[in-house]
Amino acid sequence: MSQLQPIKGTHDLMFEDVRRHRYVEETAFEIARRYGYGEIATPVFEFTDVFKRTLGDTSDIVTKEMFTFETKGGDNITLRPEGTAGVARAFISEGLAQQTPLKFFYRGPMFRYERPQKGRQRQFHQFGAELLGVASPQADVEVIALADHILKTLNLTGTTTLELNSLGDVESRLAYRDVLVSYLKGHEDKLSPDSRERLIRNPLRILDSKDPGDKAIAANAPQFTAHLNTASQDFFKAVQDGLSALGIGFKVVPALVRGLDYYGHTAFEFTTEALGAQGTVLAGGRYDGLIKQMGGPQTPGIGFAAGIERLAMLLPEIAAEKRPIAVIPIGDEESKVAQEITAKLRHEGFTVDMGYGGNMGKRMTRANKIKAVAAVILGSDEVREGVATVRNLDSGEQVKVAQADLARHLAGHK
């Protein structure tokens, strides 16, 4: 076992892992484009303040999970723990308020200083979408439809469930919070220590506690949906009706809440049973207060983020990589011809690998290892005659083909 190890919670991705990773990203981006989303790539680090202001001083992410450090110039910066804050900051920095509605798609690494476990790394990857400047519930429906569409395309709708809830507008949320806290205070002695702490910092979180005792108390708690004001109720209903009209199935889960402070109204999550404790695969919601809270003009927004590693783990199977053609020269003089032929075939669109040395047996072994469909063999005889021996590596059949006809002959393997 080597002494050199990657930093805790980080991984070297290669071969199949990277392919699955990319497949998730590309698929998501491809669908997002159809919905009119354009990619935005914000920096992986920001001033620490950007996250503190958006995520709230009391959230766990800010209080204990950020990679924060000081630069040589004395700036306090943080590796982004999530993507929305950066997009919101860019929206303000670039003065984009005049151009709404705006649809952004992003992808890339995120960093959280947590204890790693299944489906949870310190450097992980997300893709996400943000729709800025639309207050109507139509936006919520479209964003959820996009998420659903992506998961459908990834063939994951069978393994995931859409959970939906409304956190209401600010008025409803504050009112409900009071009702909930006074109910929970009545049971404070029976709450878990964690939840007693949450009672002060984030009482809504107690609703989705995993502690059995908490669950029993939460089950009888006053329901959020019953405390929404009329406007919030109408909004929630419009979202539900819109989803139903599109044939998107969902489950209303009153206990579904958010850890981040800027969410209101619609909250949604696609969850799975297949990943152990880290069941959330894609989550999002509406954040109408965020831009203003950061110092920009009042701008409604809604978006989601998805964990690429988690999705990649769920992925059933992806199409095999394209099989290359192996060009195998025998001898120095032949190598020159082989190099030309290789270059030509590549420019014609073929995937071609040429051995780097060794005798013919070695090169054949390599051709086999890289799963080549065919070997193009160039010995002295072939070069003299201006032909190549093409061996089908599955059947073992060999034919001589004029070098000028190679592209046509191999066309099926493009």
Q: Which residues would be at the binding site for RNA (CB under 7 A)?
A: 1, 5-6, 8-9, 59-61, 65, 82, 112, 114-121, 124, 126, 194, 198, 202, 205, 209-211, 258-260, 269, 276-283, 305-307, 309-310, 330, 359-361, 364-365, 367-369, 375, 377, 379-382, 389, 391, 393-394, 396, 398
Specify whether the backbone of 168 is left (phi greater than 0), alpha (psi in -120 to 50) or beta.
Answer: left
Q: Is the separation of the CB atoms in 227 and 172 below 8 Å?
A: yes
Phi/psi for 318 (5° steps) reads: -120, 160
> Considering the complex, what minimum distance in angstroms separates the CB of residue 320 from RNA?
16
The residue with tokens 């404070």 is 188
Comparing C-alpha atoms, which of 113, 77, 119 is closest to residue 279? 119
Q: Which is nearer to RNA, 23 or 97 (CB)?
A: 23
Largest CA distance in the chain: 94
Q: Which is nearer to RNA, 96 or 255 (CB)?
A: 255
> Considering the complex, what minimum distance in angstroms separates the CB of residue 188 from RNA?
16
> Considering the complex, what minimum distance in angstroms separates the CB of residue 275 from RNA?
7
Query: Residue 382 contacts by C-beta under 8 Å, 6 or more apart in sequence?
Result: 334, 388, 389, 400
Q: Which is nearer to RNA, 209 or 299 (CB)?
A: 209
Identity at 250, one-letter amino acid code = F
Please state whether beta strands 45-47 and 67-70 pair in parallel, antiparallel, or not at all (unpaired): unpaired
> Considering the complex, what minimum distance in angstroms separates the CB of residue 257 from RNA?
8
Cβ count within 10 A of residue 370: 13
Q: Which is nearer to RNA, 347 or 400 (CB)?
A: 400
Q: Which is nearer to RNA, 169 or 269 (CB)?
A: 269
- Assign 314 to helix, strand or coil: helix
- Using the CB atoms, write b or e for 292-309: b if 16+ within 10 Å: ebbebeebbbbbbbbbbb
Q: Which is nearer to RNA, 231 or 252 (CB)?
A: 252
> Considering the complex, what minimum distance in angstroms separates the CB of residue 4 from RNA?
11
Query: Residue 46 contacts by C-beta under 8 Å, 6 or more apart in sequence?
Result: 77, 78, 80, 85, 86, 89
> Considering the complex, what minimum distance in angstroms separates the CB of residue 134 from RNA?
21
Q: Which is nearer to RNA, 99 or 398 (CB)?
A: 398
Per DSSP (E only), the strands in 133-232 are: 160-166
Q: Which is nearer to RNA, 205 or 227 (CB)?
A: 205
Per the DSSP assignment, residues forming a β-bridge with 329 are 378
Distance CA(310)–CA(212), nearest Å, equals 26
> Considering the complex, what minimum distance in angstroms separates the CB of residue 211 from RNA?
6
> Considering the complex, what minimum distance in angstroms separates the CB of residue 235 from RNA?
21
> Considering the complex, what minimum distance in angstroms separates the CB of residue 364 from RNA?
3
Asked if the peptide bond before residue 101 counts as cis, ω within 30 degrees of 0, the response is: yes
> Considering the complex, what minimum distance in angstroms separates the CB of residue 72 from RNA?
26
> Considering the complex, what minimum distance in angstroms separates the CB of residue 245 from RNA?
25
Q: Which is nearer to RNA, 265 or 391 (CB)?
A: 391
Number of residues that make up the chain: 414
Q: Which is nearer to RNA, 190 or 237 (CB)?
A: 190
- Using the CB atoms, write b or e for 144-158: b if 16+ within 10 Å: bbbbbbbbeebebbe
Distance CA(333)–CA(410), nearest Å, equals 24
Distance CA(85)–CA(179), nearest Å, equals 30
Q: Is the separation of the CB atoms in 306 and 282 below 8 Å?
A: yes
- Assign 83 to helix, strand or coil: coil
Q: Which is nearer to RNA, 63 or 136 (CB)?
A: 63
